[in-house]
Chains A and B, each alone.
Chain A
Amino acid sequence: MEIYFDNSATTPVFPCVREVMMRTMEDDFGNPSSMHRKGMDAENYIRTAKTQIAKTLKVDEKEILFTSGGTESNNTAILGTVSANPRLGKHLITSAIEHPSVANTMHWLEGQGYRVTYLPVDHEGRISLEDLAAAIDDETVLVSIMMVNNEIGTREPIEEISRVIKEKNLNTIFHVDAVQAYGKYVIRPKKWGIDLMSVSGHKIHGPKGIGFLYIRDKVKINPIIFGGEQQKGLRSGTENVPGIAGLGAAAEEIYREHESRTAYLYGCKSRMTEGLLQLEGVTVNGPAVDDGAPHVVSASFAGVRSEVLLHALEDKGIYVSAGSACASNHPGLSSTLVAIGLDPKLLDCTLRFSFSIFTTEEEVDETLKALKELLPFLRKYTRK
């Protein structure tokens, strides 16, 4: 038996994704820049993917830029904005709980003479709109806020954030890291006033190594990768046709029956959360079930080190994450968990369970059963 509850780290590809990717690798393998028919055939996959993606967001095909994934989208959004808009100012705003691909880019810019404000979050991981309003000034070129936090599933109020920004400074550009939100929520960038938005393929049952950046028409950014001027010069390099085709298919599929699937995910999440809270010495982090994303549950297990519990679950075929998988290669503790003011004793005792539409209620029950069995056993070996 294998239970995969690490879908915020990555997901298996949909069958339709695999199928279209195989075709682009074996038959329609042309270079989209080639002038002959083989090139044209390959280019058609890109057109199709753009249409599939644009439909899910109600945006224009022209506004989609393919990248190598979430990290490159975030880097392009931030670095591309500041380099293209030097006259707008040298101040940036972000939150204290961003993904490292945003946080570390901001740190780097600080070293280059930019001023960065890191907005604190409350115990549920939400930024305050008052703090945001107070932070924006005439110099603010960019605000970058994630829509869903990868570690605890908090949903930031994107529409309100956008409204506050435009009230304070019409020139400020608004970037949203939607890597954990796309596919889980219906997102309307135009209506909500999002200028730039990052999405990754492998979090929505697409392939790894592909993602896109939504760039609202008329928003100016510079490339960070130079070369053969593909994608209108904004992102040089032969397009990753298999990845792009796979991403398009995944985008279309992930939004099919969106409402019922989301309701189903919330069902799994409630079941998990309620089950966890019945166990002794277990607390659930982040917002209430319905206020957070449908697929992430963060829980702390007093007196049990997360790495020990993670491997004990792995022994039973259950795969989860300690804190956040992206941060787990580093010995340092999760910055999100610190930022929400989690009891320091629990920082090293926290696991993340993340679901997908393939998650079943039996898997949730099986995991709860395993935890019920393991916790008393492992607590015997707590540091005393």
Chain B
Amino acid sequence: MEFQSFLIKYSEIGIKGKNRYVFEDKLVSQIARKLKTVEGQFSVSKVSGRIYVQAEAPYDYDETIDALQHVFGIAGICPQVQLPDEGFEELKRQVVAYMDEMYPDKNITFKVIARRANKHYPIDSNEINARLGEAILDAFPEIRVDVHHPDVYLYVEVREMINIYSQIIPGPGGMPVGTGGRAMLLLSGGIDSPVAGWMVSKRGVAIDAVYFHAPPYTSERAKQKVVDLARLVSKYSGQIQLHVVNFTEIQLYIYETCPHEELTIIMRRYMMRIAEKLAEKNGCQALITGESIGQVASQTLQSLAATNEVCTLPVFRPVIAFDKQEIVDIALKINTYETSIQPYEDCCTIFVAKHPVTKPNRKIIRKSETKLTKIDEMVETAMKTVETIVID
């Protein structure tokens, strides 16, 4: 069956009270934006609390559904038949035709769920249910009604127009990007950070990303991998500005100056400091990391406390209590896993101590950092030489 119209269901926006229109308008614009990447021509409209996508030209159904499944805020996508009200007899005829075309095998059970939003419509919902059900039963002898567990829920919504649908394709959920502010994601090239970015973005947050590059010791391929990951996340989050920080000089200086078992912690503290500076410069209200308790030495509670104390912005760690497999499951779902496991070294793995401290004492770390007399200058240089890649 070829559909020309989709009803878009959203869940949480509904509870936003007086701000509801802000969320709906954002969702409409995000859908329109996403559909521009798809072959065809679409119009997206909001009519009394419902969002509709109409195909205005030939289009590819699978590609369109896939695009809509990448728009946060959509709870369900319902391919539907939309008709003007031309009397109940005509509605009956259309509903029977719909069932006939959608379900060639009539050995099924169904239930009609009518909703009369247009209270001027002469027949109430119970009556619509009964009379449409009867019409379907009359038309197809094998079909049966099951009001408890039907195979098919047939929705009939009577509004300015009448919507008929029986499929609800799940969307990604969440809230439309842009309704929740903006945050800076520390993107490493591993499995966790893209997942973390995706999770926060799902709550309507627009994303900037920062990557710490250590040329020449980390390869251009490692950087390309991060660009590729940002592109995969941006399929959901929309445009990402990826800020590439040249971290080599800082890393070598820390290596020369501080005790080796503290390297990773001090290095991470400087990453957080630089990320925060970049966040403020780019209008972000929070940082996002892919840290998960106990995964590596720098992700013990003591280490997290030590890296956390250098920031004043909130730091979101959405996968903090996830097991590795739970993170991998999401990475597989959002298609970042395969890219994440490419074996290129990043700056966290090239110069590291064999036995990093796992329970850093913050006082000692702070004291070690006082030896880094030239570091402010280096951070400033790093800030000045940031390369920003716009990923769409």
Contact = CB atoms under 8 A, between A and B. Distances in A.
A381 B347 CA distance: 13
A22 interface: no
Contacts of A329: 343
A361 to B, nearest CB: 26
B354 A314 contact: no
A381 B216 contact: no
A48 B260 CA distance: 64
B225 to A, nearest CB: 13
B342 to A, nearest CB: 8
A232 interface: no
B219 interface: yes
Given A307-B345, A329-B343, A330-B343, A383 B352 contact: yes
Contacts of A380: 255-256
A330 B344 CA distance: 10
Interface string A276-317: 000000000000000000000000000001011001101100
A36 interface: no
Contact of A384 (B219, B345, B350, B354): B354
Given A330-B343, A380-B256, A381-B255, A311 B351 contact: no
Nearest to B256: A380
A331 interface: yes
A186 B70 CA distance: 60
Interface in B195-251: 215-219
Interface residues of B, number: 16
B22 interface: no
Given A331-B343, A381-B255, A311 B217 contact: yes
Nearest to B343: A331
Interface in B236-284: 252, 255-256, 260
A312 B252 CA distance: 14
A381 B345 contact: no
Contact of A383 (B219, B256, B354): B354
Contacts of B260: 384
B99 to A, nearest CB: 48
B353 interface: yes
Contacts of A381: 252, 255, 351
A384 B354 CA distance: 6
Contacts of A384: 260, 353-354
Interface in A311-330: 311-312, 314-315, 329-330
Nearest to B350: A308
Given A329-B343, A331-B343, A381-B252, A305 B216 contact: no
Contacts, number: 33
Interface string A343-380: 00000000000000000000000000000000000001
Contact of B350 (A305, A314, A315): A305
B218 A311 contact: yes
Contacts of B252: 381
Contacts of A312: 216-217
A302 to B, nearest CB: 16
B343 A314 contact: no
A258 to B, nearest CB: 37
B353 A311 contact: no
B390 to A, nearest CB: 26
Nearest to A316: B216
B215 A315 contact: yes
Contacts of A331: 343
A307 B214 CA distance: 13
A20 B345 CA distance: 41
A148 to B, nearest CB: 27
A330 B252 CA distance: 27
Nearest to A331: B343
A315 B256 contact: no
Nearest to A332: B343
Contacts of B352: 383
B255 to A, nearest CB: 5
Contacts of A305: 350
A381 to B, nearest CB: 5
18 contacts: A307-B217, A307-B345, A307-B350, A308-B217, A308-B345, A308-B350, A311-B215, A311-B218, A312-B217, A314-B219, A315-B215, A315-B216, A381-B252, A383-B353, A383-B354, A384-B260, A384-B353, A384-B354
Given A329-B343, A330-B343, A381-B351, 12 more contacts: A305-B350, A307-B345, A307-B350, A308-B350, A311-B215, A311-B217, A312-B216, A312-B217, A314-B219, A381-B255, A383-B352, A383-B354
Interface of B: 215-219, 252, 255-256, 260, 343, 345, 350-354
Going nearest first, the 6 A-B pairs with the smallest beta carbon separation are: A315-B216, A331-B343, A311-B216, A383-B354, A384-B260, A308-B217
